[in-house]
Structure 1
Amino acid sequence: MITLAALGVVFGDIGTSPLYALKECFSPDHGIAFSPGAVLGIISMLFWAITIVVTIKYVMFVLRADNNGEGGVLALMALSLRSAVSGSPRAKLLMMLGVFGACMFYGDVVITPAISVLSAVEGLEIAAPSTTHVVIPLTLVIVVILFLIQRHGTSVVGRFFGPVMFLWFLSLALLGIYNIVKAPEVLVAINPYYAVHFMAEHSLQAFIVLGSVVLVLTGAEALYADMGHFGIKPIRYAWIFTVMPSLLINYFGQGANLIANPEAIKNPFYLMIPDPLVLPMVLLATCATVIASQAVISGAFSLTSQAILLGFVPRMRILHTSEDEQGQIYIPLINWMLLVVVVAVVLAFKKSDNLAAAYGVAVTTTMVITTMLLGVVMRHIWKWRTSAVVLTIACLLIVDVAFFAANLLKLTEGGWFPLVIGGAAFFLLMTWYSGRMLLRMRIKDDGIPIEPFIEGLLAHPPHRVGGTAVFMTGNIATVPVALLHNLKHNRILHERVFFLKISIWDVPYVADSERLTMKELGGDVYLLRAAFGFKEAPEVQKVMTLTEQQFGHHFDLMDTSFFLARDTVVPSKLLGMSLWRERLFAWMYQNGAKPSDFFHIPANRVVELGTKVEI
């Protein structure tokens, strides 16, 4: 059952590639004269691209690089950072690589719904040529509905994803077999000679075609990103025994149909289908593309949540859509931003052919970054010999860089689009991260050491009142500004005081036994530190419950007040970022979600005290 579920979530993107990949490989813009030899050469390239990149690189190697069971480029970044000293140039480089790889995923998220739904609906032009004018309106309707239902979560429709995708892959395989019978000689393309001969014969044109061949690999990163949801074995089994055979058989079937019927070049996928089955396959393809889109949108929510907890994105309102599955979340701001951009992309590009160039750049950039970070993990985490790492990574990079370089030729045809999306996201993420570091440094420099301060305070205590005060702090070494303001204005100290710092570790989950550490400063004043993983929701209520269980301190919420400092960031000419970036950071900081909402603190128990901080 887990393997069936993985079919529905993990392989939707790569599973819908047959709709447009081979069609784009034979694009007239490439200047490749159509011939049976060209068909064999391109099919051979597709076969070996899937074998080398997906099966060998991702399934054999990348899936082994798990961070406590979790995958994805940010998890790989966190894993590689363990090999570097915090704050060192090496650590900064690894961090920037990982963050840029994550940012390029947003380009993928924008393009996937647009290209996949468009390519599926374009099948109507084959089934009923008079319906050409409804392709874009129908695509927009499907896209809008897809984003509107996100707030309800995937728990209800998710159970249908696996069976629908299994039916999709079965249909791909059966259609492939049906067409291979027409020209069984296409099977000789398994021999890499045909790919090598094609590239040698056509040279520059073959290099350009590489930029389209990479479309069969879209979604390969999802195998790794979704590892935490299903585990390595179900993903490997689903790929080896269902997805890979179905895809390859279908691509060979499309090739066989082209050899037998060269006119099918207009739309190799839909023109390989018997006429009575075209309309049912349009419906099934539309369902498959919606599932593929749903998977990447959910991935965007998960990636954003991880980035927030790792300190690269401002706090946002996050809603949990399932009581059983912690990973099922919904982020309204991201959802509506994606909807606006996807609709704009559909209206701007109009055809799936026009989006193919943009898709390739997003995919290949992330592939290159994954390979580079994998090399760090192989050498420093797995302790492989340097020679073995260099040989393995060099072989993988040759393939990745070739695909990346081929797609750079399409920058003017749409390849610029994901780079703009990724570059803008990277700039915003790094501005937020750098601003947070500056803010933390300023607060620390201006802070008062907490232990001598509390010792002096208790020697001559102010009036103590009943109840518990919890002061949220980002630095347990200095006195929280909220406490200083409370003492200055109210001149009281609660009978029990906790300084609570919530930290996010570079692991997906933290065991409850390791989550809390507490130190008593005397006079019922305590330093409490709570750690969460980057896949967990940092809830104060959970901290309170664990504190009672582990340390015996009971919390009555009606008798507990939570004090937070609401910082106002003031850009200045002090050393740090440029003034305009500081203003951007200040705007992002002021518009982020409130800490009380993010940490799920009851609103009627929160006391916010304002302060200004120059950066």
Structure 2
Amino acid sequence: MDHPPSRTTSSDGLKETWRHALVLSFQTLGVVYGRLSTAPLYVFGTIQTKDFKSNEIAYEYFSFIFWTLTVVSLLKYTFIVLRADDNGEGGVFALYSLLCRHAKVGLIPNDTSTNEVMQHEEESTFRGKVESRARRAIKNHRSSHYLMLFTALFGACMIIGDGVITPSISVLSASSGLQRSLSEIKYSSSPDAQGAISDALKKYVPVPSACVITVCLFILQHYGTRKIGFMFAPIVTIWLLFIGGVGIYNIFQWDPEIFSALSPVYMYRFVRNINKDRWKSLGSILLCTAGSETMFTDLGHFPKRSIKITFVCLIYPVLILCYAGQAAFISKHWNGPENFNHLSESIPKHLRHVFILLSLLASAVGSQATIPASFSIINQCRALSCFPRVKVIHTSDKRHGQVYIPDVNWLLMALSLSITLGFHDITRIANAAGMAIVFGMIVTTCMMSLVMALYWEKSLFISGFFLMFFGFVEAVYVSACMLSFHKGAWYLFVLSAVSFTIMLAWHYGTMKKYEFDLQNKVSTEWLTDYSPGLGVSRVPGIGLIYTDIVMGIPAFFSHFITNLPAFHQVLIFVSFKPQPVPCVPPSQRYCVGRVGGKDYRIYRCIVRYGYCDQVRDTDDFEEQIIGSIGEYISLDESDCESLTSPEGRMVIVGTPLLEGHALIPVDDTNLVSGSTNAANNETLAIPVGDLIGRNTPVRRKKVRFLIPESSPRLRESVRDELQELINARESGTAYFLGQSHLTVRNGSNFFKKFLIMAYVFLDKNCREPPVALNIPHAALVEVGMVYII
């Protein structure tokens, strides 16, 4: 795992480190902070103009904005929540993964009998620590495990919902400024014609322009976070300088005394004179923190130091100046024309056209913050078996969290366009946006308090104070948002209900399928000891059996052997096991062991990966497996790092190097002519029919393996076993996958039937195969099994 460069190495190294941090800070403007930067477009603008009945009301609203930004965005997220990163990854599932490891509350499918193997890192990390009473109580109550999982899924749904709503409200708000500008144009026609044209512009201009900008925004996503960051960062920088300068101008032009509203006394006056309409307007004030949650969720895209530097030094002071200037303008024009509270009204007239252009560009950038956040949270859910299989593209080799998901991107675009066309009303969309923001914050507050108590091991007083203080602030805004539930906020709950059902059904189906595999697995002795008595023969080649279980023989393979009693001379049971960590170090990725004695040539390889790893998406996965088996054979009896499982000794093998000790991978062009250890020019694949004697060449491989000609480490028996492995690969490789058909047991309740039906539907319509390894069809053997759940 990469470690940050030391600050004390040298002056040049320090300079380079800070230069790199500043470059990343500049990129965060285009990705992370676009949402916060464009919030002034709709915070004051979504408050009803009738609520401003005196200049004091503007002071009171500004006081709420200042303290909300300070307490929530600055104090909570910048100085507290960002510290709870999971090895550089953020978001509610990063907090959940911390709790899975340190409070043992995970519900990820795993074989409890191999916890020593699968949980090696965390056991060694926390060895010697005394388990607290709180951790022990939560660990022993299964209901708390489900509660935490449901909380994490609910938080993920809020982030996805925010990713749908944000492009709509940001772009539509900027388009409204364009509409106002066009409606002010003076025509030479009659007053009636002018009024008709003005009404038409007000009604039709914002929506089409918003849709066009939204489509263009989502089309750009495939370029990746880094390119988009450099592309969008200058726009946000100019926008911030513009609204900050206009804010300073408005303060000195209209009301220099506006900063007296920083006193909490004005908040008290607001609460003292509260009524239903004014309480409802707090939902609009909450929008000033829109984008704070993405500071934490987008942590996988940028280091937290860069995120902190940008917010503290630029975003926070500029936003305060902007809101102060807008409040100063409103305090002098509260009895003026309609829509005086929109940001465009406070812009000097000679700068209106510049504002329109910048706001359109910045609003498109403002939507960018929540889209990568949606990609990140879905990638985490997918890796931890809580989201259907989708294709994930890693757009950076250095930052594992920078991902792009094409299917999700187009789905978000369609939903965002639907809400723009369906509502075409900023206030209604703002109600839904405020609901998504505040519920996402509450989930983070709840899980963060648990992290403080169970991971940071703070006292219950500190974690309880954090929960009560920030929970109270957010509960106030929840009550305000619920008053507008029937005016747009209901859309968020419909969208979240669909997302939550998909996640829950996929997790439930995965768990039940795994439990069925555990209950119906066959012991290894059945294959190694009793199979010869059943007339099972061995055929040349390698058989790669992909299974979820890490012990025993999967039911689908025993079903295959029963009907066709033959299997390959070398068998490798491969299991992918997600770990609740962002990345598994290459040195700890593979756990390799034997199934039965040495003479059987049957191996088990457990591939461990984190929710940011791309192990399944590599084209050279077969070479990595063969290389890890070769390393295991050479290290089997040496003093290497190993663990014991019920099946025997497991050796932890890292990613094989280009110059491995046991097998040397060589390209075709580098093969030594006439070498006795070289593989043939063609690697064959064995489909079902080939198991009874027919081998057909399918494709060529770029990588071959050689045994070192002379090595003191390799004994003769080891060399023979390695040579047999190479010869088996020469004969061909077949890939065995279980094809599951889930059915519900008779008498099951409706809820169970619904979840299983949803899982089956999602499984059949997934765009990504179960094992995304580019397996050739001629070498693939799918064995169907009926799972009665």
Shorter-chain TM-score: what band? Answer: over 0.9
Aligned residue in 1 for 2:244:
173
Instruction: Give runs of aligned pairs for residues 22-421 of structure 1, distance below 5 A.
Output: 22-25=44-47, 27-28=48-49, 32-81=51-100, 82-86=102-106, 88-129=142-183, 130=198, 131-132=201-202, 133-182=204-253, 183-262=255-334, 263=336, 265-321=339-395, 326-421=400-495
Structure 2: which amino acid aligns with 1:56? Answer: L
**Of the candidates 531, 538, 545, which is equivalent to residue 624 of structure 2?**
545
Structure 2: which amino acid aligns with 1:565? Answer: G
**Of the candidates 573, 576, 600, which is equivalent to residue 746 of structure 2?**
573
Q: Are 1:105 and 1:422, in contact at CA under 8 Å, matched by a contact in 2?
A: no
2:313 match: secondary structure: helix
Task: Give distance in 2, aligned partners of 1:17 and 1:268.
Answer: 12
Structure 1 residue 174, shift from structure 2 partner: 0.8
Structure 1 residue 168, shift from structure 2 partner: 1.5
User: Greater RCO between the two (CA within 8 Å, min separation 6)?
Assistant: 1
Q: Deviations over 1:432-456 (max 9, x none)?
A: 2112111111222122123553343
Task: Give distance in 2, aligned partners of 1:85 and 1:2.
Answer: 35
2:369 match: secondary structure: helix
**Of the candidates 600, 608, 612, which is equivalent to residue 782 of structure 2?**
608
- Of residues 301-310 and 289-298 in structure 1, the stretch that sits farther from structure 2 once superposed is 289-298
Structure 2: which amino acid aligns with 1:137? Answer: P
Task: Give distance in 2, aligned partners of 1:147 and 1:493.
Answer: 49
Give the direction of change, closer, same or farther, for the CA distance of 1:138–1:351 in structure 2 (3 Å limit).
Answer: same
Task: Give distance in 1, aligned partners of 2:780 and 2:78.
Answer: 48
Q: Are 2:300 and 2:402, in contact at CA under 8 Å, matched by a contact in 1?
A: no
Q: Are 2:27 and 2:230, in contact at CA under 8 Å, matched by a contact in 1?
A: yes
Structure 1 residue 250, shift from structure 2 partner: 0.1
For the pair 1:20 / 2:42, whether they are aligned, the reply is yes
Task: Give distance in 2, aligned partners of 1:85 and 1:290.
Answer: 40
1:16 match: secondary structure: helix
Structure 2: which amino acid aligns with 1:582? Answer: I
| Residue segments in structure 2 that go unaligned for 5+ positions in a row | 1-22, 108-141, 184-197, 633-661, 666-678, 685-731
- Of residues 69-78 and 452-461 in structure 1, the stretch that sits farther from structure 2 once superposed is 452-461
Q: Deviations over 1:359-388 (max 9, x none)?
A: 111111111111011110111111111112
- Of residues 450-459 and 190-199 in structure 1, the stretch that sits farther from structure 2 once superposed is 450-459
2:46 match: secondary structure: helix
Task: Give distance in 2, aligned partners of 1:107 and 1:594.
Answer: 23
Q: Deviations over 1:87-119 (max 9, x none)?
A: 611111111101111011121111101000000
Aligned pairs, number: 612
1:360 match: secondary structure: helix
Structure 2: which amino acid aligns with 1:91? Answer: H
Aligned residue in 2 for 1:526:
603
Task: Give distance in 2, aligned partners of 1:469 and 1:543.
Answer: 11
Aligned residue in 2 for 1:3:
25
| Residue segments in structure 1 that go unaligned for 5+ positions in a row | none
Q: Are 1:103 and 1:422, in contact at CA under 8 Å, matched by a contact in 2?
A: yes
Q: Are 1:123 and 1:278, in contact at CA under 8 Å, matched by a contact in 2?
A: no
Task: Give distance in 2, aligned partners of 1:593 and 1:609.
Answer: 20
Task: Give distance in 1, aligned partners of 2:625 and 2:771.
Answer: 20
Q: Deviations over 1:425-480 (max 9, x none)?
A: 11221122112111111222122123553343367773222221110000022312
Q: Deviations over 1:521-566 (max 9, x none)?
A: 2321101101010111232634742651643468986432211111
Aligned residue in 1 for 2:674:
none
Instruction: Give runs of aligned pairs for residues 491-570 of structure 1, distance below 5 A.
Output: 491-521=565-595, 522=597, 523-539=600-616, 541-542=620-621, 544-545=623-624, 548=627, 550-551=631-632, 552=662, 558=684, 559-570=732-743
For the pair 1:447 / 2:521, whether they are aligned, the reply is yes
2:81 match: secondary structure: helix
Identify the structure with the greater helix proportion.
Answer: 1
- Of residues 288-297 and 341-350 in structure 1, the stretch that sits farther from structure 2 once superposed is 288-297
Structure 2: which amino acid aligns with 1:418? Answer: L
Give the direction of change, closer, same or farther, for the CA distance of 1:293–1:604 in structure 2 (3 Å limit).
Answer: farther
Structure 1 residue 155, shift from structure 2 partner: 4.8
Q: TM-score under structure 1 normalisation?
A: 0.94
Task: Give distance in 1, aligned partners of 2:400 and 2:324.
Answer: 41
**Quick check: which has more Rg, 1 or 2?**
2
Q: Are 1:104 and 1:421, in contact at CA under 8 Å, matched by a contact in 2?
A: no
Q: Deviations over 1:55-76 (max 9, x none)?
A: 1111111111111121101111
Give the direction of change, closer, same or farther, for the CA distance of 1:323–1:66 in structure 2 (3 Å limit).
Answer: closer
Q: TM-score under structure 2 normalisation?
A: 0.74
CA RMSD of aligned residues (A): 2.3
Structure 2: which amino acid aligns with 1:566? Answer: Q
For the pair 1:463 / 2:637, whether they are aligned, the reply is no
Structure 1 residue 597, shift from structure 2 partner: 5.3
Structure 1 residue 485, shift from structure 2 partner: 4.2
